[in-house]
Chain A
Amino acid sequence: MTTTTVTTVPTTKSARKRPIGFYIASTWLGLMVFLAVFGPFLPLPTWNEAQFEFLGAGPFSAPGHLLGTTNDGYDMLSGLVNGARISIFVSVVSVTIGGLIGGVIGISSAYYRGKFDSVVQMVFNIMLSIPNLVLSLALISSFAADTDEQTATVARRMTVLIFSLTIVIVPIVGRIARGSALQWSNREFVLASKSMGTPNLVIIRKHILPNVAPAMLAIAFLAVGSVIIVEGSLALLGVGIPGGASWGSMLATGRNYLEFSPHEVYMPALAIAFTVISTNYFGDYVRNHLDKRESKI
């Protein structure tokens, strides 16, 4: 009898084993995004309607309230789900807008160089030298503060919050994009394309952007994490989204009842922590794995 030896050559896809952290992080982020999108359609109690028969019930102790209620009788789970909606909306929108603006400015300043580049660098440095919490605080208190004449609406607060966070993101992404684009703009294939008479905009779009995108995507993930934290800090300082809507605002309300219902604090805190750790991990993963093709050569 002849035995045939079959040598299995692992294909690149199956051979590349992803670390366990990748699965945990992506599952958590996937769950958060799912909750943010489909939260209102889930069979949960209304998040901002108090249930007076249960005040400050602990997790798994009250029927119909899986994670308990707050000291004011709001359902924890639906509060967290709504918080995911707000926190993720705020961070994704501000990072997307800020990333696009920062990317466009960063890449074009690296490509065209000259005076434009010097000015952009100066502006970025000035923006980065202002602590982002102070900047957001100043913007919100001057444009969306509760005064005697008016109370800040949720929409107004949110707009100003997103705007101020966008301003924080622009130089962060912009500098990364500039640094990466600078390196790619000096490559010979850019000169080769230029020597065929290709217009600058086409070169930027087709030759520089695809190479800079991985670095920008990685920093965008990291930025989502830090924006969630900034939003939480602002809420703790009392200028977050009013009415206990975001995770940070839940924390801010909950810390008053720390001794009676501690779950009111640690649950949103854990939600923030897990989400930030996941986005950071994801950002690192993207940076390590998306920029591979050239190192293969």
Chain B
Amino acid sequence: MSTVIKVEGLSVSFATPRGELKAVRDVSIELQEGESLGVVGESGSGKTVLSRSIMGLLPSTATRTGKITFQGEVISELPKDKVRDLWGTGMAMVFQDPMTALNPVRRIGDQLTESLTVRLGMSKKDAKVRAIELLERVRIPDPKSMMRKFPYQLSGGMRQRIMIAIAVSCKPEMLFADEPTTALDVTVQAQVLELISELRKEFNMAMILVTHDLGVVAGHTDKIAVMYAGDVVEYAPTRELFSNMKMPYTEALLKSIPRLETPTGTRLPVIEGRLPDPTKNEPGCPFANRCAYVTDKCRAEKPPLTDGGNGHFYRCWFPIGGAK
């Protein structure tokens, strides 16, 4: 197994009228071939920015620092057009909303064959054959007639399958899935996730799955990074994380998922309060104001990322179950 991607000390900030907005702070992750990482956090915690910044898909207002190594090559220092050569064939992304990620005025076939002809240099005829195979692979019924349809004729789940087919069309080594099921109906979410996992295994892709749903990542990832206010606050293998949760924030996130066994009428626990202002640099743990176990130390000093053994890292002074 070889390392596909290695991110060291990645920080991303945006210049805004209210000052510098720190969206991602000093994040380090590493993924092996075929391995998958779930990035979990609430809205505004920086998970989308993290995945887009690794790929290099950020708007020009963003500044990125840190080192990103993709298949042994440092890509964080490469000029834009060199990075662009990696997109599609090296790394690809499945976007959150399939309603807006397909061009409304072009046929599915044209959009699907675009990267095949442009990036892989296939002939139109070969690309069409390959596109039909891909549609079959993502379980689209009647792929031949699908090629001639427009996006508005399809349901959300079908469009997301097509987005997935486009993303894997050039056989990338690395797939970013940015909340691929958020915009979909609950009944098709499971199918789409299952499909992504299958394709990941088939093409031996490394994957970063961004979501706000801990339940989603549980069955489809090898590792989990929990993000809060731009920081990775807990980073552990999936099994280890669920069996030995250290971070109060992760615990609160898990508690706020509705469960079948709770009696009807029970109020769903919520995490009170809001994320801290990302343009301000306040001392202390960013979660302090919302934490159930907060102490004076938490408000005064920001905890470092601590190694808890078993590949388990957490950012807390008083982890659940005590320090090692």
Contact = CB atoms under 8 A, between A and B. Distances in A.
B105 A188 contact: no
A198 B100 contact: no
Contacts, number: 85
B79 to A, nearest CB: 14
Contact of A196 (B87, B102, B106): B87
Interface stretch (B111-119, B137-145, B205-213, B276-284): B111-119
Interface string A192-229: 11111111001000110011000000000000000000
Interface string A147-177: 0000000000000000000000000000000
Nearest to B150: A293
A258 to B, nearest CB: 52
Between B88, B103, B163, B166, the greatest number of chain A beta carbons within 10 A of the residue's beta carbon is seen for: B103
A158 B109 CA distance: 46
B110 interface: yes
Contacts of A196: 87-88, 92, 114-115, 119, 166-167, 169-170
B106 A197 contact: no
B97 A195 contact: no
Contact of B87 (A113, A194, A207, A293): A194
Nearest to B85: A197
A297 B115 contact: no
Given A192-B93, A196-B170, A206 B106 contact: yes
A197 B119 contact: yes
Nearest to A184: B103
Contacts of B170: 196-197
Contacts of B100: 187-189
B56 to A, nearest CB: 9
A296 B152 contact: yes
B177 to A, nearest CB: 12
A191 interface: yes
A259 interface: no
Interface residues of A, number: 23
A49 interface: no
A187 B102 CA distance: 9
A197 B152 contact: no
Contacts of A197: 84-89, 115, 118-119, 170
B300 interface: no
A202 B114 CA distance: 9
A210 to B, nearest CB: 5
A154 to B, nearest CB: 43
B103 A189 contact: yes
A113 B60 CA distance: 10
Nearest to B83: A197
B320 interface: no
B291 to A, nearest CB: 35
A195 B110 contact: no
B87 A294 contact: no
A114 B60 CA distance: 10
B159 to A, nearest CB: 11
Contacts of A211: 103-105
A172 to B, nearest CB: 24
B89 A207 contact: no
A189 B101 contact: yes
B55 interface: yes
A187 B111 CA distance: 15
Nearest to A294: B104
Interface string B204-240: 0000000000000000000000000000000000000
A69 B61 CA distance: 69
Contacts of B86: 197
Contacts of B88: 195-198
B70 interface: no
B300 to A, nearest CB: 41
Contacts of B15: none
Contacts of A194: 57, 84, 87
Given A192-B166, A198-B115, 18 more contacts: A187-B100, A188-B95, A192-B93, A194-B57, A195-B55, A195-B57, A195-B93, A196-B87, A196-B170, A197-B85, A197-B89, A197-B119, A198-B118, A202-B118, A211-B103, A293-B152, A297-B99, A297-B152
Interface of B: 55, 57, 60, 84-89, 92-93, 95, 97, 99-106, 110-111, 114-115, 118-119, 150-152, 163, 166-167, 169-170
Interface of A: 113-114, 187-189, 191-199, 202, 206-207, 210-211, 293-294, 296-297
Closest 7 pairs between A and B when the two form their complex, measured CB to CB: A197-B88, A197-B87, A196-B88, A188-B100, A196-B115, A192-B101, A189-B103
